[in-house]
Structure 1
Amino acid sequence: MPRADAGEAVMQRRVKVAAFMDFRETAGVILVVAFLAANLPFISGRVLMVGPRRLDRWLGLLLIEWMLFGCLAFGIGLVMEMHIGQVHPKGWAFYVALACFYLTLALPGAVWCFLRQRPH
């Protein structure tokens, strides 16, 4: 009997989570978070979104910020996946595709940062 009760408790928890947010909404939130995280380092002008504005930031610093924000976005997505249900195993191909997708999401911010005309 305890096993059936445990299964029922898991189903009730999933129903509560499903009532909060379904898969499509979660995917949309993850995409928006990833897009913002990919573009914030290029648009903000601040180091890690704090401190004074610096227009002459080093490219290496931008890339480090970009990777940190990417890890944060991935962590948020992983937490949301845990709340929806079972976390699926991810192989190397998933991480390569994720990196390419995140790089693609960063294109608008990088273009705005490096190709816009600055007043002299």
Structure 2
Amino acid sequence: MDVGASAWLVVLLALVLANLPFINERILALVPLRGGAGQAPSKPFIVRLLELTVLYFIVGGIGRALEGRIGTAFPQTWEFYAITACMFLVLAFPGFVVRYLKKKH
């Protein structure tokens, strides 16, 4: 896989995984929640934020592995992680809007 394809793969993966906590009611899309008596389970917002953090590190690990596979992985400083975390939050905005801001009819 060339450099351009792996970069787009990481961006698309980040887009999908950033919205994942907001489009389903399972933890990491794997573990179902137990609802109350006859109620549909609903994830609290803090659980969604923790899930978003875990998924950020998963995407970062995949990106790091792809970078290492292409050549030497470059060392990163805190600025890189601050920028990529903000980008991950921006990519999560569509899922947040659909979950919390869109009016239900």
Report the counterpart of residue 94 of structure 2 in structure 1: 108
Give the partner amino acid of 1:43.
I
Which is bigger in relative contact order (C-alpha 8 A, separation at least 6)?
A: 2
| 2:74 alignment partner, SS class | coil
- After superposing on structure 2, the runs of 4+ consecutive aligned residues of structure 1 that deviate more than 2 Å are 52-56, 116-119
Residue of structure 1 in register with 2:72 after alignment: 86
Q: Provide the C-alpha distance between the structure 2 equivalents of 1:104 and 1:92, rounded to a whole number of angstroms.
A: 19
How far, CA to CA, are the matches of 2:27 and 2:104 in structure 1?
20
**RMSD value, Cα:** 1.6
Which among 6, 21, 29 is matched to residue 49 of structure 1?
A: 29
| Ranges in structure 1 where 5+ consecutive residues have no aligned partner | 1-20
Q: Which amino acid aligns with 2:81?
A: Y
- Aligned residues, how many? 99
Identify the range of structure 1 (42-51 vs 80-89) with the bigger mean alpha-carbon deviation: 42-51
Task: Tell me if structure 1 keeps the 8 A contact 2:33–2:41.
Answer: no
Q: 1:16-95, aligned counterparts within 5 Å?
A: 21-50=1-30, 51=32, 56-95=42-81
How far does residue 68 in structure 1 lie from its aligned partner after superposition? 0.7
Structure 2, unaligned runs of 5 or more: 35-39
Which structure has more helix as a fraction of its residues?
1
Any idea what the Cα deviations from partners look like across 1:43-82, whole Å, max 9, x if unmatched? 1221221225855211110000111111111110000001
| TM-score after normalising by structure 2 | 0.86
